[in-house]
Every structure is written in structure tokens, then in C-alpha cells.
Chains A and B, each alone.
Chain A
Amino acid sequence: MNIVVLIPVYNEELRLPPVLHEVCSAGYSVIVVDDGSTDRTHQIVSRFKVTLLHHSVNLGKGAALKSGCDYAFANGADAVVMMDGDGQHLVSDLDKFVKVLNSQKYDIIFGSRNMEYGVPLVRFLGNKFASVVIGLMFSIYISDLLCGYRAITKASYKQLRWKSSGYGVETEMVVRTAKKHLRMKEIPVQTVYYDAVKGVTILDALNILVDVMMWKVKL
């Protein structure tokens, strides 16, 4: 199975190099989507043996993942593992995804952080609340709704192809998984929190909530 690691990045000149170094050393094919970074991310990525997709303006995580998946699946990938470029996700967890993908029993694999790996309490509670709401609305329970460490197969991407261009992408993927009755699995992953400013804000969460209502009606 041809598995590609997809890393969407935005202004990650400091934390991206060690991540890329580690993933490349582990022997994975890597696609980096630079989502309109204004720092030196673009130049830094060019030094590594990776495929670089460059958005000339910042579109959001969902759009970056879509570009990466479109490119990967059009160029021979059978599956894509998505991970963050800020070092939040550990490269050592990649093997877990690859192992489950190679079993070919699942269409989508969700990484799941848990409390013992140092998720801040507020995020943990917000995440759990969202999981319960989505569970009640769409009959699917994912213990960590917003974890970006995920893997999807080419066949499932055709059914999952999301419309969200921002942080709603993770939730939309879960909703579409439920609607299309895809085979899914959760695996525990470790997370290291570096940045309290980046990531999903309360405003993003409200936007996602509005989108969830729309998906309930439209999807």
C-alpha cells in the first residue's frame, strides 16, 4: 500500500524542520501544503526531499488538506496520513496508522488524544462535549473529535471529500463518515502542546456549531 504523509502548514518555520527531518528519516513519502505562510516556511520546506504544494494565500486547514489529498490520490497514493506540522503529533505514532491501514479493514482512522498525554483540561472538556453532541446528532462517537492526526484511504476520500476550508474539516470528516457508514477505527496518539494561541478558538468552535446544524439538514 502506497501511504503518503500529508502535513498542512502555516507559518511553522521554527517547529516544522525537526518534524520533516524525522518523517523523512523514517522513510515516508511526504507532501507539505504551505497554506500561504508569510514567514520562511516555504524556503525551509524546499530544503527537504518532499513534495511541496504552495497556496499563494492562506485558505485554511480544510483547503490545505483537500489540496494535499487531491494531489496525493491523483499521483498514486492509496492512503494518506494527515499530521500537524508544529510537532504536536509524534512521528513515532505513524507506524500505528500504517499498521491499521495495511490491514485494509478500515476506511478511516482517527487519532485520539487522552488525558494522560497532557491535553489541557478546558480543551478536553470542550472536545468531550462536542463528541457527545455529534454522537447524539449523527449516531457516531469519536472520543477526540478535533484531533488532526488521521488517515484515510483513496476509496473513502471519494466519499469524504469535505467542503470546509477551515478548522471545521475535522468535524465534517466525522459527520461524513457517519453519513456514508464508513468503517472507522480510533487509535490512541500522544500530543505535545506548544502553542496556546494557535488552533481552534471559541469563534472557530461557534462557526463549526453553525456548520454542524447545516450538515444535519444538508448532508
Chain B
Amino acid sequence: MIIVLQFTGFAFSLTMIYFALLHYRRHSLYALEFIAWVIMWAGFLVIISFPDMFRSFSSTFLVTRLFDVLVISGIGIFSIMASMSYIRSRNTEKRVEELVRALSIRNAKKHQKRKKEK
């Protein structure tokens, strides 16, 4: 059972590293972002491959199972990512709104000016 879980996690990490590389090559990710993603997924690979290495680490935080450490850190990472993407999408939304509104006002002014000239 553990081996199957390890294998799934291993395959998932490798796939995610591949996607990070793919998006980096397509210039969707900056070099620093790419490195950060690779480090994260490589770390995940190491934890899955050698879980015993981290047992003492988990007991330091009073968490009995290594799996719980993974879940807790996963929730932490995804919460941070969700809030970051929320802030980014709000900023993008605001910029789009400002741009569209400014364009509509500019075009209306131009149109009115042309009407007056006629």
C-alpha cells in the first residue's frame, strides 16, 4: 500500500516538474519561479522516497505521522498560493476595469469632437 502511494506521489512530482519546465520554456514562468517550483517538487520527491529521514523532524512538531506533516504543509502552501492568486486576480481585474473605462471615455470624447467638427 505504502509503495503504491509512494509511486503515485513520485509520478505526480515528476509530472509537475515536467509542467514547470514546459511553462518555463514557453516563457510563462520566470527563471526564479521555475527554480522555486522545481525545488518544491524535488523536496516532495525526497520526502516520498526517504520518509524515514523526516520522522524525527515530524516528532519535533509533535505530529506523530509523517503523512500529517505533508498534509499540514500542503494546506499551508496552498493557502498562501490561493491568497496570492486572489490578490493578483483582483489587481488584474482593477487594471482591466480602469483600462476599459478610460478607453470608453476617450473614444466618446473623440466621437463628440468629430461630431462638432462636422
**In the complex, residue of chain A having the shortest beta-carbon distance to the beta carbon of B111:** A52
**Residue B101 is within 8 A (CB to CB) of chain A in the complex:** yes
* Alpha-carbon separation in the docked complex, A55 to B106 (Å): 11
Kindly list chain B residues whose C-beta atoms are within 8 Å of the C-beta of A71.
Answer: 105, 108-109
Chain B interface, DSSP helix/strand/loop, else mixed = helix
The answer, among B93, B104, B111, B112, for a CB contact under 8 Å with A33, is B104
Report whether B105 and A56 are in contact in the complex, using a CB–CB cutoff of 8 Å: no
**Residue B22 is within 8 A (CB to CB) of chain A in the complex:** no
**In the complex, residue of chain A having the shortest beta-carbon distance to the beta carbon of B99:** A56
CB distance from A49 to the nearest CB of B (A): 10
The answer, among B93, B96, B97, B104, for a CB contact under 8 Å with A53, is B104
CB distance from B42 to the nearest CB of A (A): 39
* Alpha-carbon separation in the docked complex, A36 to B101 (Å): 11
What per-residue 1/0 map shows which CB atoms of B86-118 lie under 8 Å from chain A?
000000010011001101110111011000000
Kindly list chain B residues whose C-beta atoms are within 8 Å of the C-beta of A52.
Answer: 108, 111
Kindly list chain B residues whose C-beta atoms are within 8 Å of the C-beta of A59.
Answer: 96-97, 100-101
**In the complex, residue of chain A having the shortest beta-carbon distance to the beta carbon of B108:** A53
Task: Please report the total number of A residues contacting B with Cβ < 8 Å.
Answer: 18
What per-residue 1/0 map shows which CB atoms of A43-76 lie under 8 Å from chain B?
0000000011111110100010011001100110
Kindly list chain B residues whose C-beta atoms are within 8 Å of the C-beta of A67.
Answer: 101, 104-105
Kindly list chain B residues whose C-beta atoms are within 8 Å of the C-beta of A51.
Answer: 108, 112
* Alpha-carbon separation in the docked complex, A57 to B99 (Å): 11
* Alpha-carbon separation in the docked complex, A53 to B103 (Å): 9
Please provide the chain A residues from 167 to 187 with a CB less than 8 Å away from any CB of chain B in the complex: none
Report whether B101 and A66 are in contact in the complex, using a CB–CB cutoff of 8 Å: yes
Interface positions of B (Cβ within 8 A of A):
93, 96-97, 100-101, 103-105, 107-109, 111-112
Interface positions of A (Cβ within 8 A of B):
33, 36, 51-57, 59, 63, 66-67, 70-71, 74-75, 165
9 more contacts with CB within 8 A, not counting A53-B104, A63-B101, A74-B105, are A52-B108, A52-B111, A54-B104, A56-B104, A59-B97, A59-B101, A67-B101, A67-B104, A75-B112
